[in-house]
Amino acid sequence: MALEEFLTESLYFGNWMGVITWVVLFASFIVFLPFNKKSTIKPTSTFVAFIVASAFEMFGIPLSAYFLTWAFGINVPRGLLWGHTLENYIGYWGMYIGVAINIIGGLLIIGGWRVIYREYWSKDEGEGKLVTDGIYSYMRHPQYTGFLLMTFGLLVHWATLPLLIMWPLLVRQYIGLAKMEEEEMIEKFGKEYEDYMEKTPRFLPRLRIND
């Protein structure tokens, strides 16, 4: 179906209440990050910008599709920077997969926050302990993995030009933030944290195969 026909027949776009709801729903996860750290400002800002861009093009105006038709003078098929990304290949399963990735990301963010807040962030300076159990026994930065998965899920669900540009930037920022925090942890906990780094991956857990 041509883009013009879709926009004429569909009531999907121009749903500004949907834009607001989408932004509030996903951006609310930033409350699980420490706001007293300047190092988190850039990745958090990029994450929020990613969510806003996603909501705007999914519910508001499909600017990526307009740009492509203007630049190339062709009808843009559904799934190419507008509409459900994998719809032409696996139907709405692409949307379901994206939502599943969103949920996993959200669980990692909340699960990581519960442990680190209880054992470290809620303590006075010098009283917090190094957290290496629970979800932190599988990865050193479960919250950052969660934010990256959540945004990647949105790409799987509804990829657009702004999202494709911002996601690699977001990955780079979270890698830089993770490295910075690891240096801080080495200063505080020394060899204990270095040993933890050796056996625990940064973002993705290792497959554990029993002998």
pLDDT at 89: 87
pLDDT at 1: 46
pLDDT at 26: 95
8 A C-beta contact, residue 114 and residue 144: no
Hey, what amino acid is at 139? Answer: M
pLDDT at 73: 63
Tokens 């990735």 belong to residue: 101
Look up residue 81 and give its two tokens. 């920077």
pLDDT at 21: 95
8 A C-beta contact, residue 43 and residue 177: yes
- CA 98/CA 164 separation, integer angstroms: 15
∠ CA 205-210-211, rounded to 5°: 140
Closest CA to 44 of 57, 54, 30: 30
Closest CA to 28 of 148, 117, 110: 110
Look up residue 86 and give its two tokens. 């994998």
Helix/strand/coil (H, E, C) string of 110-132? HHHHHHHHHHHHCCCCCCCCCCC
Hey, what amino acid is at 46? Answer: T
Pick the CATH number of 3-199 from 3.20.20.70, 1.20.120.1630, 1.10.10.10, 3.40.50.150: 1.20.120.1630
Burial of 147 (0-12, 13-18, 19+ CB in 10 A): buried
**Per-10-residue mean pLDDT, the chain, length 211:** 49 82 95 79 93 92 76 69 85 92 96 87 72 92 96 94 94 95 92 94 76 39
pLDDT at 71: 72
Distance separating the N- and C-terminal Cα atoms of the chain: 54
pLDDT at 81: 78
